[in-house]
């Protein structure tokens, strides 16, 4: 019911999807950028209804209280349980391992503010879980969400991320510093040590 409603609103507002729905892919990490607006989440909900793929979102387990858990679950959020022996990447990989079908969306910029580099957790989750990336571009000038073909990772960090960055150079609208730097130099920032 919720998906049908948000899909109707999405279309009524004049938004469209460019690219195909990868229904044959049972598990994937969906990567959304550039994240510039509070409306991005609502656009994702609308697109999810149009695509008819159950794409979820991550939220820390502390948000799933008795009075709020129902709302987060209704929106498609998955609680992430982290402790000292398990980081976010491992916690999410475990979710992929325990499910036959799982699609989770992540915004690697982590904020609507300008950033100089992407957070790479999405990459490590997909690599460890052995699932492809589906890239989503928030293209406000065209009122479109642009969807890539599945990106299957090789483990070559720079080559894999280069595919991701090149996809986002084609998205119209405001580009943040991380993407401007790539457009100017063609280089991917070195992987940060965690």
SS3 14: coil
Backbone phi, psi, residue 118, to 5°: -80, 145
- pLDDT of residue 85 exceeding 60, the answer is no
pLDDT of residue 181: 93
Query: Residue 132 pLDDT more than 90?
Result: yes
Band of pLDDT at residue 83, cut at 50, 70 and 90: low
φ/ψ of 62, rounded to 5, equals -65, -20
DSSP for residue 101 = S
Residues 104-131 have pLDDT tens digits of 998 898 788 999 989 999 999 999 999 9
Q: What is the pairing mode between strands 133-139 and 144-147?
A: antiparallel
Mean pLDDT within 163-189: 93
Range with the poorest average pLDDT among 4-8, 113-117, 186-190: 4-8
Where does the chain have alpha helices with state H?
Answer: 2-12, 40-51, 69-74, 88-97, 121-129, 157-169, 177-185
Residue 144 β-bridge partners: 16, 139
Q: Residue range 7-31: average pLDDT?
A: 89
Rounded CA-CA distance 77/71 in Å is 9
Cα 120 to Cα 49: distance, rounded to the nearest angstrom: 27
Question: Mean of the pLDDT values across residues 137-144?
Answer: 92
Q: Are 133 and 164 in contact (CB under 8 A)?
A: yes
- pTM summary value: 0.87
């Amino acid at each position: 019911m919720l998906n049908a409603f948000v899909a109707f609103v999405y279309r009524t507002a004049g938004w469209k999807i460019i690219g195909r729905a990868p229904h044959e892919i049972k598990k994937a990490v969906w990567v959304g950028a550039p994240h510039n607006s509070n409306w991005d989440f609502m656009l994702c909900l609308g697109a999810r209804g149009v695509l008819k793929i159950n794409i979820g979102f991550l939220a820390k387990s502390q948000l799933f209280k008795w009075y709020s858990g129902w709302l987060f679950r209704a929106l498609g959020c998955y609680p992430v349980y982290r402790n000292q022996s398990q980081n976010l990447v491992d916690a999410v990989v475990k979710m992929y391992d325990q499910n036959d079908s799982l699609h989770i969306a992540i915004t690697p910029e982590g904020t609507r503010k300008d950033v100089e580099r992407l957070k790479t957790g999405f990459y490590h989750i997909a690599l460890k879980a052995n699932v492809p990336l589906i890239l989503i571009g928030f293209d406000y000038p065209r009122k479109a969400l642009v969807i890539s073909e599945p990106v299957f990772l090789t483990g070559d960090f720079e080559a894999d991320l280069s595919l991701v960055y090149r996809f986002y150079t084609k998205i119209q609208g405001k580009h943040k510093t991380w993407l401007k730097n790539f457009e100017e130099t063609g280089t991917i920032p070195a992987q940060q040590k965690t």
